[in-house]
Amino acid sequence: MKIRTTDVFSVQDTLCVEFSSLFGNGRAFWHGTKPNIGDVLDVELELDEVFSWKENIDLSSDTTPKITVNDGIQIITGELINDADGCAVLKIGDSVILVELDQPMPHELGFVDVRATAIHLYPTNI
């Protein structure tokens, strides 16, 4: 996924960025060399938590991928395209994110809203 850094800062010695993308804006932990504000970078996005149906993942009424922040919670809308063995693939545009589920989804695959407490970004150096 391509992002543009809009702010770079540290929280308790952990590097963080605010970013914008074609899908919206967010805040994330940064894993790599410190970027500059305004850098356009290709990144892999990771969600390091387990998701539970109706708690922090639910069907979406929207069919457009997006990233938003609401009261410090990152909301990612994307298409759930695979669900097997407690893991799922969330598609946002051309990017995919692996999502760990506490149990198989109780419905057919489709667009979902994922509410994450943190996003982790890893530069691909592409």
pLDDT tens-digit map of 64-95: 999 999 998 999 999 998 767 667 899 999 99
Categorize the per-residue pLDDT at 109 as very low, low, confident or very high, splitting at 50, 70 and 90: confident
46/122 Cα distance (integer angstroms)? 8
Query: What is the tens place of the pLDDT at every residue in 34-59?
Result: 999 999 999 999 999 999 999 999 99
**Beta bridge partner(s), residue 83:** 88
Q: Which residue has the tokens 């639910």?
A: 58
| pLDDT band (50, 70, 90) for residue 125 | confident
What angle (nearest 5°) sits at the alpha carbon of residue 79, between those of residues 74 and 84?
100
On whether the pTM is more than 0.85, the answer is yes
CA distances from 123 to 5, 13, 44, 74 (A): 12, 19, 6, 19
From CA 88, how far away is CA 126, in angstroms rounded? 25
What are the angstrom distances between the C-alpha of 108 and each of 83, 88, 112? Answer: 9, 12, 11
| Secondary structure of residue 24 in the 3-state scheme | strand
